[in-house]
């Protein structure tokens, strides 16, 4: 008896799973997840990613067992694993979601396509997000996104497994070379994804607008769904439709709550907009989006500056506190992520690729499409975006005015007088204070103003180059948003206090 093989990747759920749903309609199914040794040797992989996947697979396996099946774990490179399974029991169809991942997964999928063609297996792939494969023009994308999000969610009415599973529980161990599993990171699995969505829609989203910028309020005000979306514990369509349904159910006077959910929907649209960039041009993972910026920073990489950033020893208290929080939790709000990249790109003058590889291992919710597009945008190598330079001192003053965040994550700053907290090197009594401090109060590793001024000057000189200006339109045509530029930008200066319902207060 033939069957369909469902290959799970970054889609670790059972509801609104197009590949599983179609396979179930076509006949008996066999569900597999493949641990690919070469994938886990890539520079953007970390132990926290593997452990989150393991936790999510355990939840998925438990649910599938209630339906009479399981998810099998295989180890090896995809063509070899598929060959072993096919020789054991031939299957006629392979089902999976499309993946907009790193360069390794792109090359691997080409090998899988060749294997299917050679073997005569029909491979059906389904859209995972509002991302369009082989998109001809960006003009078509907004409508395609809306159509995907508005279409009905898929649910399983019946599911027949090819064989009954063994009794032993799922056993999955991480490769021994993997490092970095933050002690306070979020845990994986669809059940936690649903609980997080519920708490956000019903309570925490009230503080979304105005609360997501500060690292103090952001842990609760942000949705905290990013990791669950990145690994597919919950579908984007499910989140969009649940958010819209919640907005419709709110009473007329719930303006603040409705505004938060509306802003969140915009972010979900933004999420897919950036993944589409990598889908349309996979090379932006390692190559400047605008070739006119080639050689801008690559040949001047300062390893000491990079190590200082990684070790939270830049001397800018807000920067170092963010690095420590990221190391402890695997998460940081978007504005502070942008600040880290900006500091790396401008005063430290670091090329975005090595910085991006490091940050990929630090972010639990690492999503390649968003990650590499943002690294380039914040570093100024897209050629189409406004230069974004975040002053670490001003960010601290604006978003942590009392210094609670800095003192929480940077113990060495707890003895520094408040008036010198964000620029402790200017304190005339610094030497006296140092005697009481846990460690030396650092000076920034570069002069903030001078280094930033020089970096902006060098970038803008490149931007003014006639050949660079001439090449801008090609990037605009391929990657720029087609949203109405006349639409008013939603902003809020209101400081919204963090909600505490989910216990995300690190």
Residue ending a domain, choose from 76, 102, 126: 126
Instruction: Indicate if 432 and 328 belong to the same structural domain.
Output: yes
Structure tokens at 441: 């109060």
Q: Provide the pLDDT for residue 496.
A: 31
Residues in the chain: 506
Q: What is the DSSP letter of 161?
A: B
Residue ending a domain, choose from 256, 280, 304: 280
Nearest to 447 by CA among 425, 417, 421, 416: 425
Neighbours of 454 (CB within 10 A): 15
CB 289 within 8 A of CB 374: no
Instruction: Indicate if 101 and 228 belong to the same structural domain.
Output: no
Residues 354-371 pLDDT 10s: 999 999 999 999 999 999
Instruction: Indicate if 288 and 272 belong to the same structural domain.
Output: no
Any domain includes 304: yes
Q: Provide the pLDDT for residue 504.
A: 52
Q: How far apart are the first and last CA of the chain?
A: 53
Nearest to 205 by CA among 188, 190, 217, 193: 217
Instruction: Indicate if 357 and 418 belong to the same structural domain.
Output: yes
CA torsion sign for 472, 474, 475, 479 is positive
- Please identify every stretch of the chain with a pLDDT value under 50, giving residue numbers as ranges: 432-433, 435-438, 485-503
User: How many domains would you assign to the chain?
Assistant: 3
Q: Provide the pLDDT for residue 430.
A: 59
Any domain includes 486: no
CATH number of the domain within which 74 lies:
3.40.50.620
Q: Provide the pLDDT for residue 431.
A: 54
Residue ending a domain, choose from 111, 126, 141: 126
Q: Provide the pLDDT for residue 480.
A: 80
Return the SS3 of 34. strand
Range of the domain at 252: 190-280
This model's pTM is above 0.85: yes
Residues 104-153 pLDDT 10s: 999 999 999 999 999 999 999 999 999 999 999 989 999 999 999 999 99
Distance CA 442, CA 154 (A): 55
Any domain includes 454: yes
């Amino acid at each position: 008896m033939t069957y369909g093989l469902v290959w799970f990747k970054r889609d670790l759920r059972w509801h609104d799973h197009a590949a599983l749903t179609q396979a179930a309609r076509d006949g008996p199914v066999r569900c597999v997840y493949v641990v690919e040794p070469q994938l886990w040797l890539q520079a953007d992989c970390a132990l926290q990613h593997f452990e989150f996947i393991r936790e999510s697979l355990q939840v998925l396996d438990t649910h599938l067992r209630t339906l009479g099946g399981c998810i099998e774990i295989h180890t090896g490179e995809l063509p070899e694993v598929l060959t072993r399974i096919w020789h054991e029991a031939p299957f006629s169809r392979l089902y999976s979601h499309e993946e907009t991942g790193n360069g390794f997964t792109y090359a691997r999928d080409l090998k899988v396509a060749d294997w299917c063609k050679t073997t005569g297996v029909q491979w059906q792939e389904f859209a995972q997000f509002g991302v369009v494969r082989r998109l001809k023009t960006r003009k078509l994308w907004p409508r395609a996104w809306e159509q995907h999000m508005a279409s009905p969610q898929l649910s399983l009415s019946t599911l027949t497994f090819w064989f009954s599973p063994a009794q032993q529980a799922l056993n999955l161990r991480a490769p021994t070379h993997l490092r970095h599993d933050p002690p306070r990171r979020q845990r994986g699995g669809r059940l936690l994804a649903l609980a997080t969505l519920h708490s956000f829609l019903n309570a925490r989203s009230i503080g979304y607008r105005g609360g997501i910028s500060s690292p103090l309020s952001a842990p609760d005000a942000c949705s905290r769904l990013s990791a669950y979306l990145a690994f597919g514990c919950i579908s984007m369509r499910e989140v969009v439709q649940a958010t819209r349904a919640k907005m419709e159910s709110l009473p007329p006077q719930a303006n603040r709550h409705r505004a938060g959910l509306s802003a969140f929907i915009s972010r979900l649209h933004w999420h897919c907009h950036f993944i589409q960039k990598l889908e349309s041009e996979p090379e932006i993972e390692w190559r400047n989006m605008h070739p006119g910026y080639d050689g801008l920073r690559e040949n001047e990489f300062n390893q000491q500056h990079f190590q200082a950033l990684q070790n939270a020893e830049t001397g800018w208290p807000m920067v170092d506190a963010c690095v420590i929080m990221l190391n402890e939790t695997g998460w940081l709000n978007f504005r502070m992520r942008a600040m880290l990249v900006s500091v790396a790109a401008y005063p430290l003058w670091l090329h975005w690729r090595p910085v991006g590889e490091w940050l990929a291992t630090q972010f639990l919710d690492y999503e390649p499409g968003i990650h590499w597009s943002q690294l380039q945008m914040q570093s100024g190598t897209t050629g189409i975006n406004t230069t974004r330079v975040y002053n670490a001192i001003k960010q601290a003053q604006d978003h942590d005015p009392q210094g609670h965040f800095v003192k929480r994550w940077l113990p060495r700053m707890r003895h520094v007088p408040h008036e010198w907290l964000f620029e402790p090197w200017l304190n005339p009594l610094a030497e006296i204070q140092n005697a009481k401090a846990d460690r030396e109060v650092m000076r920034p590793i570069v002069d903030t103003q001078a280094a930033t001024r020089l970096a902006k000057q060098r970038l803008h000189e490149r931007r003014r180059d006639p050949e660079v200006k001439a090449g801008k339109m090609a990037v605009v045509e391929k990657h720029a948003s087609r949203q109405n530029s006349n639409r008013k930008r939603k902003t809020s200066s209101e400081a919204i206090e963090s909600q505490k319902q989910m216990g995300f207060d690190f």
